[in-house]
Amino acid sequence: MRALRATLAVAAITWTWTLSADALRAGAPQGGAQGPKLSDGLFNAPQAQRGENLYGQVCSACHLADLTGSDQAPSLAGGDFLDRWDGQTLGDLVDRIRTSMPADNVGSLNTQAATDIVSYLLKANKFPAGPDELKADRPLLKTIIIKKP
């Protein structure tokens, strides 16, 4: 009877640990699987242009028109930006914009608007455009890892 209890306890602990580990990985690519790569051209030129126009309206006051940032907001182009976001997902970046920007009207940008702005940021950071728009699909965006070129 003791052996059975010990076996059941070990099984319960193992099952609980597995569920906890799965919960920690939720939203991240599983089993080494990766989503599309930024080098594949995941946005198109018209979308990046929409994002640039929107950026000019709602982001440039703090991050500046040339994306260099200011004392109140970080740079959104170049090494500092890529170092900060390296290893995170496009979904993380879209969510950050959507839920915390612009500072004077937090939450006013929907997922599509934030995705368009991210498309512009990708273009500004020298990632290639492709034939299709980057979809404002949060689960998909969570599979696209930002890697420095």
Q: Establish if 11 belongs to a structural domain.
A: no
Q: Establish if 25 belongs to a structural domain.
A: no
Residues 119, 43 contacting (CB under 8 angstroms): yes
Rounded Cα distance between 139 and 28, Å, is 9
Q: Establish if 45 belongs to a structural domain.
A: yes
Per-residue pLDDT in tens (0 to 9) along the chain, 149 residues:
454 444 434 333 333 333 333 333 344 444 445 689 999 999 999 999 999 999 999 999 999 999 999 999 999 999 999 999 999 999 999 999 999 999 999 999 999 999 999 999 999 999 999 999 999 999 999 999 999 88
Number of separate domains in the chain: 1
What is the predicted pLDDT for the residue at 122?
98
Q: Establish if 4 belongs to a structural domain.
A: no
Q: Establish if 94 belongs to a structural domain.
A: yes
Rounded Cα distance between 77 and 85, Å, is 11
What is the predicted pLDDT for the residue at 114?
98
Tell me the three-class secondary structure of 18-30, residue by residue. HHHHHHHHCCCCC
User: Which CATH number goes with the domain that contains 84?
Assistant: 1.10.760.10
Q: Establish if 123 belongs to a structural domain.
A: yes
Q: Establish if 16 belongs to a structural domain.
A: no
* N-terminal to C-terminal alpha carbon distance within the chain: 60
Residue 96 tokens, joined? 């950050």
Q: Which domain holds residue 101?
A: 40-149
Rounded Cα distance between 149 and 89, Å, is 15
Q: Establish if 138 belongs to a structural domain.
A: yes
Is the overall model pTM greater than 0.95, yes or no? no
